[in-house]
Copies of this chain bind each other. A is one copy, B any other.
Amino acid sequence: MYPPGVTDIELRHLAAMAAIADEGSFGRAAARLGYTQSTVSQQIAALERTVGGPVFDRPGGPKPVRITPLGAVVLEHGRDLLARAEKLADAVDRFKAGGGRIDIGTFQSVSNVILPVVVCRLREEQPDCDIRLFEEEPDQPRISDLDLLFYDGRIDGDVESAKLLDDPYLLVCGNDAFPDGPVQLAQLDDAPMVAWPLTCDQPLMEQALAHNGARPRVVFRSAINETLLSMVRAGMGSAVLPWLAIRGANVESDRQLRVHELCPALPVREIYLHWRAGRTQSPLATRAIEIAVEVAAELSGARRA
């Protein structure tokens, strides 16, 4: 792979060489490096052994040592090598401080409500970090190549997860569709309704509706919440949406719309944050999980209030 001898080069020796070149003396270089003069002398001897020739001329006496032509070649590349090593150390430090890149998979309502806050706080703590979001959603959520994945449900495979919050379904309808207070599920039977496409938790929710004797007529499907709500305002029908989506669209302050709890309540949609099991996380990912849990808890509290 690498030619023999390449890995015999020691950065310590190159650092000693650079210090000597700067100071003009083995002894002063040793002092600067925190070594003994004899140690530095041996380090240079070792370096000269590996490169196969002297790198300094030692005139003897108080004259400063001078670099040889071979030494100049070694030093030129050596300084470069040391600079690169320093860059490596810097990169590691930045990484451990939370820098670096993180790839997060997300979906619909999480993108609208939770994620903005998470990203914001993360960037506050780590202005230089590189956060990449992915919302492509094939039928199966893809966690390979992602560090973190938000999803409303569990995922099979070698995955760990944190439950972020319970997201109950609520009814959004026109101002005068129902009187204040909870709405009986049965009242939704055969009612016109707009809804999300049948991905994620949506099929489960509709089954639960049906199981409770509510078979609404779905007159329109869209993944865009704003579109759905416009349809509700237009009187096309009502919508059963999770609380997160409702909050994300500021429905509560919309005088044309009203939100009702459902009775009996549908099974809540559960929001999870997933990551691959058995893999060491980056500090950035670890922190992102913590922040996501925090944010979710705050949201949960806000909902109950």
**Is A32 close to B, CB under 8 A?**
yes
For the complex, is A229 an interface residue (Cβ under 8 Å from B)?
no
From 62 to 101 in chain A, residues with beta carbon under 8 angstroms from any chain B beta carbon are 66, 68-70, 73-74, 76-78, 80-82, 84-89, 91-92, 95-96, 100
A11, A32, A87 interface centre (most CB from chain B within 10 Å) = A11
A278 at the interface (CB under 8 A from B): yes
A27 within 8 A of B: no
Most buried by B among A76, A82, A280: A280
Knowing A1-B32, A33-B1, A81-B84 are in contact, say whether A9-B89 is a contact too (CB < 8 A): yes
Interface of A is mostly: helix
For residue A16, which residue of chain B has the nearest CB? B7
Tally of this chain's copies: 2
Q: Contact partner of A9 among B57, B88, B278, CB < 8 A?
A: B88
Q: A70 vs B66: C-alpha distance in the bound complex, in angstroms?
A: 41
Indicate with 1 or 0, residue by residue over A1-18, a CB within 8 angstroms of chain B CB atoms. 111011101111001001
A282 within 8 A of B: yes
User: Once the chains bind, are B6 and A279 in contact (CB under 8 Å)?
Assistant: no
Q: Give the chain B neighbours of A80 by CB distance below 8 A.
A: 84
Q: Are A282 and B69 in contact (CB under 8 A)?
A: yes
Q: Can you list, as one digit per residue, whether each of A196-214 has a CB less than 8 Å from chain B (1) or not (0)?
A: 0000000000000000000
* A293 proximal to B (CB < 8 A): no
A285 at interface by CB-CB < 8 Å: yes
The minimal Cβ–Cβ distance linking A281 to chain B, given in whole angstroms, is 7
Is there an interface contact between B84 and A53, defined as CB atoms closer than 8 Å? no
Complex Cα distance, B278 from A6, in Å, reads 30
Listed A/B pairs (28) with beta-carbon separation below 8 Å: A1-B22, A1-B32, A1-B33, A2-B82, A3-B86, A5-B89, A6-B11, A6-B15, A6-B82, A6-B86, A7-B12, A7-B82, A57-B279, A57-B280, A59-B278, A69-B100, A69-B282, A73-B91, A73-B92, A73-B95, A74-B91, A77-B84, A77-B87, A78-B88, A81-B81, A81-B84, A81-B88, A84-B84
Residues A68 and B6 in contact, CB atoms below 8 Å apart = no
**Chain B residues with CB under 8 A of A12:** 7
Chain A residues numbered 89-122 whose CB sits less than 8 Å from any CB in chain B: 89, 91-92, 95-96, 100
Q: Which residues of B contact A2 (CB under 8 A)?
A: 15, 82, 85-86
Interface centre among A15, A54, A88, A279 (most CB of B within 10 A): A88
A9 touches B53 (CB 8 A): no
Distance between Cα atoms of A96 and B22 in the complex (Å): 25
Known: A15-B2, A279-B57. A77 touches B73 (CB 8 A): no
Interface string of A22-36 (1 = CB under 8 A from B): 100000000011000
Contacting residues, chain B, for A77 (C-beta < 8 A): 84, 87-88, 91
